[in-house]
Chains A and B, each alone.
Chain A
């Protein structure tokens, strides 16, 4: 028997280090404890906060309806039960696979045994806005607090750049706080990249019905002001006066610290189908890129649910012998709450997929739509139809044909 660590049927780990103390990292740690791994677990997180939940940052927390305590991912007393060692406010700056040495920004380094990488992603920014007050991105708790303060100051107009999910949710929250909002999107429709133009148009209508000044198919030329933002200049020549600008134009995976580590980095940490990046090294969440065999597609998924599920999978993988390892083959799923509408999408959809509404209607803003490709059911989109989304998600997991799904009586 080893002195420390847990003797598992697969691999015995003396200790496990998790870099990234947010959703994927924490759920990974909790999953290890549920696997009866009782060895040391160290979580390294660059933010000073205990692990917190991000989705409310663009909704209830931004609106001021929730306080910080409600964001805790796991209640403090339960967290204590797991006997985890946290090194918060500490950033990993380098890793060397050959020597298994991890270097931290406080100058210390440690030798790792099992390593799980969950460093997430950070927001893209608009060049030239770094020194301008009143321009924000939204990723962390401190970002949300800063935007909330800016909203509370009573801006004449908020401009949201990018109508992806973060942008659309921030616009909705700002409108519901009574603020004037312009939402600017370079694509023909909001959320168009994910939902396609037809369903993106439904989202566009919802935002316009709620009084958002939505500008689509137009880019941002410049954000101008003397020390703080005063106006946004668009590519169609129009100029919008603004005191607050929130930029939501996507994220970049946090992999720079792994350059030269010996791990393969390519738009994320490259993993095999089981979430293994190298012997004894796994990755999960926004930073992980792996071939999802269910869809025959290499993916990096930035959804909340994926962080939870992949965190658990990558944690178990660290305790498994190679021959016992299973591929990670989820049907990706996310939700987005905007006004009183709940959007949910499960699966992987593309603009040229077949699409058919199976329940409800676009007019009532309450429906479920199925997506088919090469005869297979590949996705379901719901507007305020959670039951249907989940039931069709199960059908996607079962690999049913598009025709079977259309005929299903759910």
Chain B
């Protein structure tokens, strides 16, 4: 499972960071950083929540 972020779409709303702070971080430069691009299957549910809740639909999951 690989996290794909479309940084052209991302506007750093940081909702992903709230749902999965182990995977995403918006830093003081207001940019999003992916902390772990290939998390284990145990994070799939949280990641799917991030995909759904991202207001810009900037996150997707590559199998």
What is the interface of chain A, defined by CB distance below 8 A to chain B? 27, 30, 34, 53, 55, 73, 304-305, 308-309, 312, 333, 335, 337, 342, 344, 384, 386-387, 389-391, 393-394
In the complex, B48 has a CB within 8 A of chain A: yes
- Bitwise interface map of B from 24 to 61 toward A, beta carbon under 8 Å scored 1, else 0: 01111010000000000000000010001101010000
Given contacts A384-B30, A387-B17, A387-B28, contact A305 B11 (CB under 8 A): no
A34/B48 in contact, CB under 8 A: yes
**A305 contact set on B, CB distance < 8 A:** 15, 53, 55
Question: Which secondary structure dominates chain A's binding surface?
Answer: helix
Given contacts A305-B15, A394-B18, contact A386 B30 (CB under 8 A): yes
Interface size class of B (residues with CB under 8 A): 10 to 19
Alpha-carbon distance between A179 and B30 when the two chains are bound, in angstroms: 30
Closest 5 CB pairs of A and B: A386-B14, A390-B18, A390-B14, A387-B26, A386-B12
B31 to chain A, nearest CB (A): 10
B13/A335 in contact, CB under 8 A: yes
Alpha-carbon distance between A312 and B19 when the two chains are bound, in angstroms: 15
B14 to chain A, nearest CB (A): 4
B30/A337 in contact, CB under 8 A: no
Residue from B11, B25, B27 whose CB has the most chain A CB atoms within 10 Å:
B11
B27 to chain A, nearest CB (A): 7
List 7 other contacts, CB 8 Å, given A386-B30, A387-B17.
A73-B57, A305-B55, A335-B55, A342-B12, A342-B13, A387-B14, A387-B25
A69 to chain B, nearest CB (A): 12
B52/A312 in contact, CB under 8 A: yes
B29 to chain A, nearest CB (A): 10
22 A-B pairs whose Cβ atoms sit less than 8 Å apart in the complex: A34-B48, A55-B55, A304-B55, A305-B15, A305-B55, A309-B53, A333-B15, A335-B13, A337-B11, A342-B12, A386-B13, A386-B26, A386-B30, A387-B12, A387-B17, A387-B28, A389-B14, A390-B15, A390-B17, A390-B26, A391-B18, A393-B18
Q: Which residue on A lies nearest to B12, using beta carbons?
A: A386
**B13 contact set on A, CB distance < 8 A:** 335, 342, 344, 386
Q: Which residue on A lies nearest to B49, using beta carbons?
A: A312
**B27 contact set on A, CB distance < 8 A:** 387
**B15 contact set on A, CB distance < 8 A:** 305, 333, 390
Say which residue of B25, B30, B53 sits within 8 Å of A308 (CB atoms).
Answer: B53
**B25 contact set on A, CB distance < 8 A:** 387
A58 to chain B, nearest CB (A): 13
**B55 contact set on A, CB distance < 8 A:** 55, 304-305, 335
A250 to chain B, nearest CB (A): 21
Residue from A304, A386, A393, A394 whose CB has the most chain B CB atoms within 10 Å:
A386
**B57 contact set on A, CB distance < 8 A:** 53, 73
Residue from A30, A333, A390 whose CB has the most chain B CB atoms within 10 Å:
A390
Alpha-carbon distance between A14 and B24 when the two chains are bound, in angstroms: 39
A342/B26 in contact, CB under 8 A: no
**B30 contact set on A, CB distance < 8 A:** 384, 386-387
**A312 contact set on B, CB distance < 8 A:** 52
B1 to chain A, nearest CB (A): 15
**A333 contact set on B, CB distance < 8 A:** 15
A5 to chain B, nearest CB (A): 23
**A308 contact set on B, CB distance < 8 A:** 52-53
**B48 contact set on A, CB distance < 8 A:** 34
Alpha-carbon distance between A43 and B17 when the two chains are bound, in angstroms: 31
Alpha-carbon distance between A344 and B26 when the two chains are bound, in angstroms: 14
Alpha-carbon distance between A391 and B18 when the two chains are bound, in angstroms: 7
**B17 contact set on A, CB distance < 8 A:** 387, 390
Residue from B26, B53, B55 whose CB has the most chain A CB atoms within 10 Å:
B55
